Amino acid sequence: MMNERKTMVVKIGSSTLVEAGELRRDFIADLAAQARDLRDAGWDLVVVSSGAIACGAPLLGFEKRPTDMPSLQACASVGQCVLSAVYDEEFRAVDMLTSLVLLTRSDTARRSSYLHARDALTRLLELGVVPVVNENDTTAVDEIKFGDNDTLAALVSCLVSADLCVTLSDIDGLYTANPSLDPSAEFIPLVDKIDAAIIGSAGDSTTSVGTGGMITKIRSCRILMTAGIESVICSGAEERPLVRLAMGEQVGTRFVPPAGRLEIAPRKLWIALGDSAHGTVTVDAGAARALVDGGGSLLPVGIKTVDGDFSAGDILDVRDADGFVLARGIAEADRDVLELAAGRRQEDIAGNRLLVALADKPAIHRDNLIVFA
């Protein structure tokens, strides 16, 4: 009986793929060679590739990344053709086939579309194809953008039930502070819990060609830990990092899910990643403990403040008093209703004609709530 194959997702940042305005064909050729060796070792690979805008900008005569949306979309349109062609050529050279998968939030915000994306990616892997995934920057606008490919890589990892998600970056992992600004910053090889201190240690992007910084990578790793998926942040300059990681070597910073964590239902992973949050509720210490330790629903009495313009059925971030995001869930009521109900007990809500619709249900039901690791 053949051993079950594993799946690795690798996210490659623009600063790793593009140097001085030129696409690094040698890097993609090395990636293809690693993909071949991974295939032979029982691993399937999905590539989440940035770089379309960075490739297209110099070809259209821009000396630096433009800032207006039409120009960015034009750069993405031109650059994606170049990027896809090089992936196709270099992977075919090692007898591997790639495909292009372009996604936006509108493709995953609806549960049905999210499942279709999952099925398409799964079938491509079954057929031995290496999907190359990117955000559809040619048509995406702010309202439907993932915003960074770190979030997209986490989404794709959940869609294909990846065993490992690797981010190849221009930094070799996580430090206690930004090493380019603080020479005393210490390297962190292993993370088993992402708390406020870890979030605080993440500096912002220092490159001019990308959109994501370390903070977006950490947030994505936290979602992956919640999903029970290991992840790694390491330098794209490392020698054959994907093969070495598949063999169990220590490369970069590894983020390990909590031991004994229960499997997260696919619907809850969709809540965490499928759509962006439309609002925020801040909860008191008692409600925070009930969510994190007790696995309960969020009741209106535990809500301190409500922010954002949202309706019943929209996704909300749940923050503690310090602003740390504990969870994400689906609102049971519109913003004005939750704002009026905040801090009130169920018996008080039942006696209020404006709030009676919330008398028999929570602000966010536990079945529609994902608590982050």
CA–CA dist 113, 32 (Å, integer): 30
Q: Is the dihedral of CA 212, 280, 303, 370 positive or negative?
A: negative
The answer to whether 212 is a known ligand-binding residue is yes
Q: Of 37, 93, 30, whose CA–CA distance to 243 is shortest?
A: 37
The answer to whether 170 is a known ligand-binding residue is yes
The answer to whether 77 is a known ligand-binding residue is no
The answer to whether 217 is a known ligand-binding residue is yes
DSSP string, 16-36: HHEETTEE-HHHHHHHHHHHH
Q: Is the dihedral of CA 298, 314, 214, 162 positive or negative?
A: positive
Long-range contacts of 140-147 (CB under 8 A, 24+ apart): 140/104, 140/105, 141/69, 143/105, 144/104, 144/105, 144/106, 144/109, 145/104, 145/105, 146/103, 146/104, 146/105, 147/211, 147/212, 147/216, 147/276
The answer to whether 304 is a known ligand-binding residue is no
The answer to whether 211 is a known ligand-binding residue is yes
Q: CB of 215 within 8 A of CB of 204? A: yes
The answer to whether 296 is a known ligand-binding residue is no
The answer to whether 112 is a known ligand-binding residue is no
DSSP string, 36-85: HHHHHTTEEEEEEE--HHHHHHHHTT-SS---SHHHHHHHHHHHHHHHHH
The answer to whether 98 is a known ligand-binding residue is no
The answer to whether 236 is a known ligand-binding residue is no
The answer to whether 226 is a known ligand-binding residue is no
The answer to whether 12 is a known ligand-binding residue is no
Q: Compute the C-alpha angle 184/234/149, nearest 5°.
A: 115
- Give the residue ranges of the annotated binding site for ATP: 11, 169-170, 211-217
- Give the residue ranges of the annotated binding site: 11, 50, 137, 149, 169-170, 211-217
- Give the residue ranges of the annotated binding site for substrate: 50, 137, 149
